[in-house]
Structure 1
């Protein structure tokens, strides 16, 4: 549509560009939307370049970004003929003297401290380009469950604040793919965040009977996890490996319990230090925090297991208790087969409680045919082989004492052998329980490691 002459800027001969008087007429109309026919909405084209991701605050659910925002719209009162204006097709005017669309970011949650550009570019057809640098502090629903391998999807919704769809319409100035490529090309100072893609769609916001035209850009960013892998996962893995190796210490050793207590103390200090690096929200806890808690719980369980095994190996065996039958069936039978525990073969080198036939006793000879005073017949004494021997009268006190001592020694050795057998049974019960918990502990650690590695691979593939 060709505008009437009253709506076009005038130029003077010998001057470059429209005259000051004609521009001042436009400046006086600043409060009014620049449309000849107010029933026609002003179309505003929007594009931006994501220049930096300044910060992500998981606790307050806030994303801070820095954008190069560019707005285009048509000012129907800023048109002139270049042939009458010495060939001038573009001029710059102060933005404070012109009507500008009130485009805002709906997710904005802080004061706008961005530096405004004081000028806009206007070409002879009335199309205006307004560039400004915008620091946006926007609300975003941050998902931290997969931290530090998380990918965030935050929206930036641009639209007019006061003008409805009848007055101002918005549309993207460039295709979304080009906006995404430009942002990846110029993205600087991203720190731990990396841009994945920028997508968008246009829509209508309804509130009551009024409707606002909006355009939503989805900024997808992912975290670079190397900082947290080096500072969190690797130290925790070292401590867990040391705790796993501590199972190879003898379970009946007191040093094993003290070693585990020292390890738990060190892991607790590690958790206190890493609390400053872990994000925390009221909505949930990252899986890495659950991983650390489970690792600490496993360390405590391993310490309790050491205490229980020590009690089994020492307390029960010192009381000469027999291993209950259900314990032998359940632990030494089924659990030992499940964990592939084999009882080591032991050589039976028990003491030989056999009395020798040599010594101060001799076999009773045959009685003489004629003896005036025969010696009294002593009761027979049986040696270790069951052979009865008869003692001479001169050896009665010494041999009696020796036989009593041998009998006491045999009884003592039998008691020691019985105690050794009970201790051996309790020892194998403790070893089976120790091996079982060690394998469960190792299985859980491997499962958690597989989960972390899979999450890292998913992050890397995206």
Structure 2
């Protein structure tokens, strides 16, 4: 019965023509996305990789039949390559793969309703805001729409975005554990239907855009980056407690400066190269390096003064007045009698 039904349905079927009775009619496509995995967020290249299922449903009047004529068959699973498919693509794709690669079968009901749920791995462009790295949140969008058909030919209805088939609306916050990939947590994924008129064309085009609100899990960077950086920065203060006769005074300053430079290079390797905003941790490292540089300069000056002798240098009058007469009184220091 299914073989006979398949032959009867596709004997004169043309998959290149929209399934409408009149040319002025539009095809209503109910569209939804089901996220199965948040694979990766590449901050350096500003690309988000997701594993999704695309749910597309529409009515094709040319694929209707009476179940009584075919032994009660009400559902037919057909290769999607034999059907007319809406050319819905991801507009903000980042790797050139706009359409679905895996052409899975579609489910055709006896009343002409076609359900096609292909899986896809998308790489979408995502503008990364590194201001509060690594305690940051990102808003990455995925914009879906027809590439060639305008709103008068294909109308897209907003469908709920779900997780592994769970009926969960976009306006509600997602379960944190379900969306974690070790580094990021998808907190919410609201969607909206937009009608846009582009400068190139007089027609209006319809798209459905999902905004994925993701939050970084900062534990890894806190343990391996922030805490070591704070501890190394604290060592700068200890330089002033070392006696001038100690030869490691300058070595400690240089070691701290080199360590901070390494941390800064690590951060620059992670975050994107942008001049729009400077991360706070980058500003902290920069000012700490300036402070260490000043401490090195001051240490050089102190060592130079320490190794001077009365045989080679005379003490200036202003030095004697400030450091011997004035400052000891202010600091409550007593001069030892010789």
So what's the TM-score if we normalise by structure 2? 0.84
1:343 counterpart (329, 332, 337): 332
Does the aligned pair in 1 maintain the 2:161–2:170 contact within 8 Å?
A: yes
Map of 1:394 onto structure 2: none
**Within 5 Å, which residues of 2 pair with 1:183-332?**
184=175, 187=178, 190-207=181-198, 208-251=201-244, 253-272=246-265, 274=266, 277-283=269-275, 284-313=277-306, 315=308, 319-324=313-318, 328=322, 332=326
Structure 1, residues 194-231: CA drift from partner, whole Å, max 9, x if none?
10110111111212311111111111112112221222
The within-5 A match list for 1:33-44 is 33-44=18-29
Closer/same/farther in 2, CA of residues 132 and 16 from structure 1, 3 Å limit = closer
- Per-residue Cα deviation, 1:355-394 (whole angstroms, up to 9, x for no partner): xxxxxxxxxxxxxxxxxxxxxxxxxxxxxxxxxxxxxxxx
Matched, 1:158 2:147: no
Query: What's the Cα RMSD here?
Result: 3.2
Q: Quickly say closer, same or farther: Cα 1:116–1:291, change in 2 above 3 A.
A: same
Q: Structure 1 residues 121 and 183, CA, compared in 2 at 3 Å: closer, same or farther? A: farther
Aligned residues: 327
Match of residue 129 from structure 1: 115
Structure holding more helix per residue:
1
Task: Give, in angstroms, the shift of residue 240 of structure 1.
Answer: 1.4
C-alpha displacement of 1:18: 6.5
Say whether residues 1:148 and 2:130 are aligned partners: no
Is the 1:47–1:179 Cα contact (8 Å) retained in structure 2?
A: no
Aligned to 1:93: 78
Q: Is the 8 A contact 1:53 1:189 kept in 2?
A: yes
1:59-88 Cα shifts (integer Å, max 9, x gaps): 332222211111111111222233443333
Q: Which moved more, 1:251-260 or 1:140-149?
A: 251-260
Whether 2:36 is the aligned partner of 1:45: answer no
- Tell me: higher relative CO, structure 1 or 2? Use CA pairs within 8 A at least 6 residues apart: 2
| 2:165 equivalent in structure 1 | none
**Mapped partners of 2:176, 2:308: distance in 1:** 71
Residues 21 and 347 of structure 1: CA distance in aligned 2, closer, same or farther (over 3 Å) = closer
SS in structure 1 at match of 2:63: coil
Q: Distance in 1 between matches of 2:123 and 2:36?
A: 14
Cα pair distance change 1:240/1:200, threshold 3 Å: same
Instruction: Identify the match of residue 96 of structure 2 among 107, 111, 118.
Output: 111
Deviation at 1:151, TM superposition (A): 1.1
CA shift for structure 1 position 277: 4.8
Q: Distance in 2 between matches of 1:261 and 1:185?
A: 44
Structure 1 CA distance, aligned partners of 2:321 and 2:28?
83
CA contact (8 A) 1:114 1:134 kept: yes
Q: Conserved in 1, the CA contact under 8 Å of 2:173 and 2:188?
A: no
Cα distance in 2, alignment partners of residues 294 and 96 from structure 1? 60
> Any gaps of 5 or more consecutive residues in structure 2?
163-167
Report the Cα offset of residue 328 of structure 1.
3.0
Residue 168, structure 1, aligned to residue 154, structure 2: yes
- Which segment drifts farther, 278-287 or 153-162? 278-287
CA distance 1:294–1:258, shift in 2 (3 Å): same
User: Secondary structure of 1:297's match?
Assistant: helix
Structure number with the higher strand fraction is: 2
Instruction: Report if the CA contact (8 A) 1:34-1:77 is conserved.
Output: yes
Secondary structure at the aligned position of 1:121 is classed as: strand
**Displacement of 1:238 after TM fit?**
2.0
- Equivalent residue in structure 1 for 2:65, among 57, 63, 80: 80
Q: Distance in 2 between matches of 1:123 and 1:56?
A: 39
